[in-house]
Structures are given as structure tokens and as C-alpha cells.
Amino acid sequence: MGVVGFSGQVGRYLSGLCVATLGLCAAGWLALAPVAFGYRTAGRPETSLPSAGLQRAAWADWATAAGLAVVSLVTLACWIAAWRRRLRADGILLPASRRQARRESRTQRRRQRDDETAVRTPDPAQVLSELRTLLTPLLAEPDEDHRLGVPVVPHPRSGGLAAMESMLAGAELLMVGCGEEEAW
Amino acid sequence: MVNRLALAGIAAIFAAGAWLIAAPFVLRYQPAGAPWTAAARLDVAVGAALAAAGFGGFFTALAGRVRELYAQAGTAQEPGGAPE
């Protein structure tokens, strides 16, 4: 980001903050003015208002001041939040509040846990295909296997039952292998 | 969302200024043909200041936002390059 871009952004946020602050000051002034001035021009009775008009003016000013104060405060808060967010996105401002840092670390931990769970849970289709890949070389030499007394692993058939049979046969093969090792 | 709310707030401040300019005539506490009262003068002056500030502030903020969008679009088109 260049100097021009940075100053443009700062000008944007500063103008928003200035307008909101001016609105807040104007609200304060409007709230005080009916009390402070009484809306009567000293020494010129022809310009003084009748009491009903005075009341209307005072109420209008107070109502406008109240609304303006609320709007200005909300606007000020919004501009501060927007500027802080921008500074944080640019890496100028660090995540300040401890609560936010804690929330971010909790989110990161949860994401890591989810990733680990996803890694730990194997995909059954993938397991079956790996099992078949492992068992295929054993099936390639059936004569030698028969001679050694190793049970034959049937070819996987289509359907879930066939896959289960194939898996069971593989498990049986492994058990026989372990028994032979123990016998040795 | 926050940016839009902030812009809307500035527009509301401009509207409050316009209301303050119109209020003496709408609520009739400025008699027609009579010299201006202190209340009307004060309201119109404060309203004019607010309206001017709101007008300028709104377009400055909007221009900044548009510039930011252009910079973002430039960055998206040139992944390796800086926007300016």
C-alpha cells in the first residue's frame, strides 16, 4: 500500500470521526442553548417569541439534540470499529483484547482437533482398496501358497458382502501367519 | 456492515442539519415577515454547519471506500503486485 492510499484511507476514517464528533458537539450545544439563551433578544421586544413559540422551539431543539446525540454516538462507534478493523487487517494493530485472543486460540484449537479427527477416521473404501492391493501379490502365486498350507484369499466380488468376505479372509491369513511365527 | 452503518450515520447527521434549517418554518416559531428570532438564527446556523459537515464527510468517506475497492480490484488482477 502506497503513501497516497494510506493517507486516503486515513482521511476517510478521520472525516467520519470528525463529522460524528461535530454532531455530538452540536447536540450538546442544542441541548444547552434554550436554557442558556432563553431565545429572547435583549432590548428588542419585537423579536421576542410568544411563550408557545418559545416552548415549541425549545422542545424541537431538545428532541433534535437527543436524536443527534444517539446518532452521533453510534456513528462514532462505527467509525472507530471500522478503523480498528482496518488497522488489524493491515497488521498495524495487534488483536488487543485478551478475550479476543482467547477466542481465536480456542477456534484454532477446535480446528486442529477437527483435522485430527478427520485424519484418524479412515475411509472404509480406501481401507478396502489398500487391503486388496496388499493381498493381490499373495493371490498371484496360488500353487506355492497351497503347498505351504496358507489359506486362499478369494477374489473380491462386487457388493458389500464380498468385500467383507475378502477382509475376513485377509484377517484369517494374518492370524495364520502369526501362528506360524509363534510356532517357529 | 459497520462501514455501511457508519456511512448511514453521516447521512443521518446531514438529515438532522437539514431538519434544523427547516424546523423554524415547519414548526412556525419564526413568524412570517418578522425579523429573525434568536431561536431561528441559532437553529439555522447549527443546521447549516451540520448539513455542510455531513455532506462533505459523506462524500469523503464514500470516495475513500471507492478508492479502497479500486485498490482491492487491482490487487486481485495482479496477484504479485502492489495496488499502488
pLDDT, tens digit, 9 for 90 and up, residues A49-71: 556 677 788 888 999 999 999 99
Query: How does the average pLDDT of chain B come out, rounded?
Result: 86
Q: Does the beta carbon of B1 lie under 8 angstroms from any beta carbon of chain A? A: no
Q: How many helices (H) and strands (E) does chain A have?
A: 6, 0
Query: How does the average pLDDT of chain A come out, rounded?
Result: 75
Dihedral angle sign, alpha carbons of residues A124, A126, A127, A133: positive
Rg (chain A; Cα; Å): 40
Q: Complex ipTM above 0.90?
A: no
Predicted model pTM: 0.59
Smallest CA–CA separation between A1 and chain B, in Å? 6
Interface of A with B in 48-87 (CB under 8 A): 48-49, 53-54, 56-58, 60-61, 64, 67-68, 71-72, 74-75, 78-79, 81-82, 85
